[in-house]
């Protein structure tokens, strides 16, 4: 049997989830888009940023970008206590 790999279809929700998983592993900024989770979507960095912006407009994440400085936050998914735990791990 011949195996054929089909390309993954990225969405705003899936991108937000991949960024969240990367955030939980300690990645921040632009490196969130270079994690193994983000690479699963087979899309360019620019397209992933577009999906992140879409997720931000929907209120799922907070996404800010000024040139090549990127901030991604997840206030609706993490409490202040959980954010403190993550900061302590870093």
Whether 45 contacts 33, CB under 8 Å:
yes
- pTM comes to 0.84
**Does the 12-89 domain belong in CATH 1.20.272?**
no
Tell me the mean pLDDT in the region 43-71: 94
Q: What is the pLDDT of residue 7?
A: 79
Tell me the mean pLDDT in the region 26-51: 92
Long-range contacts of 35-43 (CB under 8 A, 24+ apart): 40/8, 41/8, 41/9, 41/10, 41/14, 41/15, 42/7, 42/8, 42/10, 43/10
């Amino acid at each position: 049997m011949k195996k054929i790999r089909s390309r993954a279809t990225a969405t705003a929700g899936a991108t937000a989830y991949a960024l969240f998983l990367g955030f939980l592993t300690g990645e921040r900024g632009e490196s969130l888009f270079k994690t193994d989770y983000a690479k699963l979507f087979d899309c360019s960095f620019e397209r992933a940023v577009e999906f992140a912006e879409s997720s931000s407009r929907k209120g799922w994440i907070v996404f800010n970008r000024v040139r090549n400085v990127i901030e991604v936050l997840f206030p609706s998914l993490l409490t202040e206590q959980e954010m403190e735990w993550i900061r302590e791990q870093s």
